[in-house]
Amino acid sequence: MSDTPSITRDDVAHLARLARIDLPPESLDHYAEQLAIILGAVVQVSEVAAADVPATSHPMPLVNVFREDVVRPSLTNEEALSGAPSVESERFRVPRILDEE
């Protein structure tokens, strides 16, 4: 798994769709090249990641951190909408939605 991964234009286009970034087509090759270089450098992690080594997701070994089920003040409607690019009827207004949930 230490081979330098190949990243194609289409791979970049797919990643851009997943990440919702509308990349101009002319930039795809550029990103493909850079991603391949970086991935080629970072793939060395698999050299030492033996099966018996547990993964660490959190630097501190905390568990069971909970909050009491007690109400805290919410924002006002004005505060909530204050940074919104578009607002209507106390709601966030967005262009038409294509995908169904």
Partner 1 sequence: MSTHTTEKVVPYDDVVARFDPVIGLEVHVELGTVTKMFCGCPTGFGAAPNTQVCPVCLGLPGALPAVNAVAVESAIRIGLALNCSIAEWCRFARKNYFYPDMPKNFQTSQYDEPIAYDGYLDVDVETDEGMTTFRVEIERAHMEEDTGKTTHQGGATGRIHGADYSLVDYNRAGIPLIEIVTKPVTGTGKYAPEVARAYVTALREVLRGLGVSDVKMEQGSLRCDANVSLRPSPESPLGTRTETKNVNSLRSVERAVRYEMTRQAAILDAGGSVVQETRHWHEDTGITTSGREKSDAEDYRYFPEPDLVPIAPSREWVEELRATLPENPAVRQARLKIAWGISDFEMASVVNAGALDLVEQTVAAGADQGAARKWWTGELARIANERGVEIADLPITPVDVARVEALVGVGALNDKLARQVIEGVLAGEGDPDAVVASRGLAVVSDDGPLLAAIDEALAAQPDVAEKIRGGKLAAAGAIVGAVMKATRGQADAGRVRSLLLERLGITDE
Partner 2 sequence: MSTDLTRLTAADTAARIASGEVSAVEVAQAHLDRITAVDDRVHAFLHVDTEGALAAASAVDTARAAGAALSPLAGVPLALKDVLTQKGIPTTCGSRILEGWRPPYDATVTARLKAAGVVILGKTNMDEFAMGSSTEHSAYGATHNPWDLDRIPGGSGGGSAAAVAAFEAPLAIGTDTGGSIRQPAAVTGTVGVKPTYGAVSRYGLVALASSLDQAGPCARTVLDTAMLHAVIAGHDPMDSTSLDVPVPDVVGAALRADVKGLRIGIVKEITGEGFQAGVSQRFDEAVEILTGLGAEVVEVSAPHFPYALAAYYLILPSECSSNLAKFDGVRFGLRVGEDDGNPSIEQVMGRTRAAGFGDEVIRRIMLGTYALSAGYYDAYYGSAQKVRTLIQRDFTAAFEQVDVLISPTAPTTAFRLGEKIDDPLAMYLNDVATIPANLAGTPGMSLPIGLAPEDGLPVGLQIMAPAMADDRLYNVGAALEAALLDRWGHPILEEAPAL
Residue with the two structure tokens 């949930």: 101
Pairwise CA distance, residues 12 & 23, whole Å? 9
Q: Does 96 help bind partner 2 (rule: CB under 8 A)?
A: yes
Out of 25, 26, 69, 79, point to the residue binding partner 2 (CB under 8 A): 79
What is each CA distance from 75 to 23, 55, 72, 83, in whole angstroms?
Answer: 35, 38, 10, 13
Out of 1, 18, 45, 48, point to the residue binding partner 1 (CB under 8 A): 18
**Token pair in block for residue 48:** 């030492």
Q: Does 69 help bind partner 1 (rule: CB under 8 A)?
A: yes
Helix (H) or strand (E) holding 47: helix 45-48
Q: Does 70 help bind partner 2 (rule: CB under 8 A)?
A: no
Helix (H) or strand (E) holding 18: helix 9-18
Chain centroid, CA 66 distance in Å? 26
What mask of x and - would describe binding to partner 1 in positions 37 to 66, judged by CB under 8 A?
--------------------xx-x-xxxxx
What mask of x and - would describe binding to partner 2 in positions 34 to 63, judged by CB under 8 A?
xx-xxx-xxxxxxxxxx--xxxxxxxx-x-
Chain residues binding partner 1 by CB under 8 A are: 14, 18, 20, 57-58, 60, 62-77, 80-81, 83, 88-97, 99-101
